[in-house]
Amino acid sequence: MILRTTIFLILNFTALAFGGLFTSEGVPSEWYLSLLKAPWTPPGWVFGFAWSIIMICYGFYMGFLYNTNSKKTTIIILYVLQLFLNISWNQVFFKFHYVLLGFIVISLLTITVIFKLFFFYKAIKLKSFLILPYIFWLIIATSLNGYILIYN
């Protein structure tokens, strides 16, 4: 359990760092600064703090899930899919400025993570709630992307 959780934590923070490469260049860019952003857009420091908490909770969620569920192939496929979508959104939105495609990617990511909550709930029951910070943040992020899509 500890080894698998550690592996998932390392993978999560590696993906977070990789995705952050695109965000760190994109957030201070003239393009992003010129966008009309939602009034509920959090200050910049909240993003790093929130993602750190989310990735810790998600690492434990994945460790519990992988350790107690026999559908390991499904778990890994969905995990890789969410990692891919998560990293892709940063590049699509911040590097290429494809706001509509970014909205599609983040919507698919949100759906994937919500699906995991319901699909695997019986396997780890209350421990499934460790994925809730991720879902909550994705809903906020999707709304922010949607606002930018509509008003720019």
| Positive/negative CA dihedral, 63, 12, 45, 31 | negative
Contact 126, 65 (CB under 8 A): no
Percent of the chain with pLDDT over 90: 83
pLDDT exceeds cutoff 60 at 142: yes
Residue reference for tokens 């979508």: 85
What pTM, to 2 d.p., does this model score? 0.92
DSSP 47-113: HHHHHHHHHHHHHHHHHHHHHH-S-HHHHHHHHHHHHHHHHHHHIIIIIT--HHHHHHHHHHHHHHH
pLDDT tens figures, 26-72: 567 899 999 999 999 999 889 889 999 999 999 999 999 999 978 99
Q: What are the chain's domains?
A: 2-151 (1.20.1260.100)
What are all long-range contacts of 19-24, with beta carbons under 8 Å and residues at least 24 apart?
Answer: 19/86, 19/87, 19/89, 19/90, 19/91, 20/90, 21/90, 22/90, 22/91, 22/94, 22/95, 23/47, 23/90, 23/94
- Output the CA angle 21-105-115, nearest 5 degrees: 115
